[in-house]
Chain A
Amino acid sequence: MANLKVDINGLSMINPVMTASGTFGYGKEFEDFVNLERIGGIIIKGTTLNQREGNPYPRMAETPSGMLNAVGLQNKGIEYFIKKIYPQIKEIQTNMIVNVSGSDIESYAKTAEMINELHHIPAIELNISCPNVKQGGMAFGVSAHGASEVVKAVRKVYKKTLIVKLSPNVTDIAEIARSVEAAGADSISLINTILGMAIDAEKRRPLLSTITGGLSGAAVKPIALRMVWQVAKAVKIPVIGLGGIMNARDAIEFILAGATAIQIGTANFIDPSVTVKVIEGINEYLDRHHYSSVKDIIGALEI
């Protein structure tokens, strides 16, 4: 049994496997399938200052080896989260991390400040990369200046581990990563979904109400892996890799590319117990290759 513990700049995790925001609800939705406490960290649904109804149906289209979504950050707002949801999830013995979105710098900062008071939430993941709402943060995430501004503002009010989630819909991901690091982020996670589109040729109509949406699932893995590798080389803070991870082998590839931890998103829809299988698979790989700790393979890609 290898040592699976990792540390994200102060946030310690029993293993490097986390669940990706928007794909694992509040964790509770999966408790019939997995022992949540075995997962290194659970990143819960995107939360905003005010309630959001999200985009109209249809919000999902299956595509080759993947899916497009256009949920649009449907959530009941931070106050509802604190009053109604937090009491139900705070006893779960793992890192429960809130994914925060906003429409402007003030709303990001205000939401982060409120979560800072929640004892059982050790970290937030700042989503500056949602492609599905006009002001879903992607505007911040696609320029080094915008990204830096929002991270600085949140850093001032948020005292625990601050993870910043990057958008892949940019030309130079390393530049944005460096500006986010300089602005005070403790860690960077990537990738969010890739902007895509699907058409029903018979009806000559788009398959999503919003016309375009975010692509996720196995289809995005090579792009995600490339970006994680580029960002891991560009920054010193720990990188959390995600995008198309379906099994332990995929997860190990991200770790070899430089990720300290990984997140599993869409794969939870196909196998709701996949997280535990990935944890076991990583352990099996380490044993087989005679590594005593998962830390030994972070960025261990031989070129």
Chain B
Amino acid sequence: MKKYILDLTVVDNVRLHSNYILLKMTQEATLPLMLPGQFAEIRIDGSASTFLRRPISINYVDIEKNEVWFLIQLIGDGTRQLSKVNRGDKINTILPLGKNFTLPKTNEQQKSLLIGGGVGTAPLLYLGKQLIENGYHPTFLLGARSSLDLLQLGDFQKFGQVYITTEDGSVGEKGYVTQHSILFQETFDMIYTCGPRPMMMSVAQYAQTHQIECEVSLENKMACGVGACLCCVENTNEGHLCVCKEGPVFNIKQLLWQI
């Protein structure tokens, strides 16, 4: 897919709980086609500590409003500076980057489970929309530290059944996503997951044991974002592959995870 460098205009910058923002951006021209799982490289100007761009997943695309959304956890200087942008500000963004999640291969009856942890739920919202539009019925399993880290619940509920775990038990079942009872009650044909690596590894292990197709979205540190610098590699059965270009979405069969 052709990649673009765009000066997008901020439509909205909404603080979610204390430590996340939902950034909605647009431009005059129709936004380029973006697919769930793909990401953008966002430029943050103005300080020595934000020299490189920041990779952020496409959270959602609102076609009618010509908006692209980013759900961002405030971690360090880069994301904190993003939290301060205002409506009307321009943000230089390169998109769409990387490979998208693939739709289930068989019939529409197929049951897919989308498991997100923390801010890793970001790309799953747009994926949920795509699955619905293609006639599938996604189920979501979202994990967070506490109720204050659960994001966009209402949006997810529009696309399917949502199950929740929190580490402190403040909402949903207490524990980790991989301990949720739904995994022991229902069977799924396809799992998509994004979140902290240890969480994705236990999801991958579950998928492997139950022989379920599973795609994970990785977050390796990146410099170029376009497959040129070879900084972001993951060990795979084809050697070192760039997460920014051959990923960020990988089928767990490609990865050499010790699970």
Q: B-contacting residues of A (Cβ < 8 Å)?
A: 22-25, 29-30, 32-33, 45, 53-54, 56-67, 69, 71, 74, 217-218, 266, 268-273
Contact = CB atoms under 8 A, between A and B. Distances in A.
Given A22-B229, A268-B228, A272-B5, A60 B222 contact: yes
19 contacts: A23-B224, A24-B228, A25-B227, A29-B228, A32-B2, A32-B3, A57-B240, A59-B230, A60-B222, A60-B232, A61-B221, A62-B221, A63-B51, A64-B48, A66-B51, A67-B51, A74-B233, A74-B240, A271-B43
Contact of B231 (A59, A63, A65, A272): A59
A53 B94 contact: no
A60 B220 CA distance: 10
Nearest to B43: A270
Given A268-B228, A272-B94, 5 more contacts: A57-B234, A60-B222, A60-B232, A218-B51, A271-B43
Given A59-B233, A60-B232, A269 B52 contact: yes
B190 to A, nearest CB: 27
Given A54-B233, A60-B232, A74-B240, A272 B49 contact: no
B136 to A, nearest CB: 31
Contacts of A59: 230-233
A29 B230 CA distance: 12
A23 B229 contact: yes
Contact of A30 (B49, B228, B233): B228
A23 B220 contact: no
B4 interface: yes
B218 to A, nearest CB: 10
A25 B228 CA distance: 4
A33 B5 contact: yes
A74 B227 CA distance: 12
Give 10 nearest A-B pairs by CB, closest first.
A25-B228, A60-B231, A64-B48, A29-B228, A269-B224, A65-B48, A32-B3, A29-B226, A71-B230, A269-B223
Interface residues of B, number: 30
Contacts of A24: 228
A202 to B, nearest CB: 12
Interface string B129-140: 000000000000
Interface string B1-39: 011110000000000000000000000000000000000
Nearest to B54: A62
B240 A53 contact: yes
Nearest to B45: A270
Interface string B30-71: 000000000000010000110111000000000000000000
Contacts of A269: 52-53, 223-225, 228-229
A57 B220 contact: yes
A273 B94 CA distance: 11
Interface class of chain B by DSSP: loop
B187 interface: no
Contact of B52 (A23, A56, A62): A62
Contacts of B49: 62, 64
Given A54-B240, A60-B221, A67-B223, A270 B53 contact: yes
B222 A57 contact: no
Contacts of B226: 25, 29-30, 272
Contacts of A74: 230, 233, 240
Nearest to B4: A32
Nearest to A54: B240
B211 interface: no
A271 B44 CA distance: 12
Contacts of B2: 32
Contacts of B235: 56-57
B239 interface: yes
Contacts of A57: 220, 232-235, 240
Contacts of A64: 48-49, 51
Contact of A71 (B3, B48, B229): B229
A71 B231 contact: yes
B221 A58 contact: yes
Contacts of A23: 224, 228-229
B74 to A, nearest CB: 17
B52 A270 contact: yes
A67 B51 CA distance: 8
Contacts of A53: 239-240
A266 B245 CA distance: 18
Contacts of A60: 221-223, 229, 231-232
Contacts of A71: 229-231
A268 B43 CA distance: 13
A197 B5 CA distance: 32
B5 A270 contact: no
A161 to B, nearest CB: 24
Among B5, B43, B48, B233, residue most surrounded by chain A Cβ atoms (within 10 Å): B233
Contacts of A66: 51
A23 B226 CA distance: 10
A14 B177 CA distance: 58
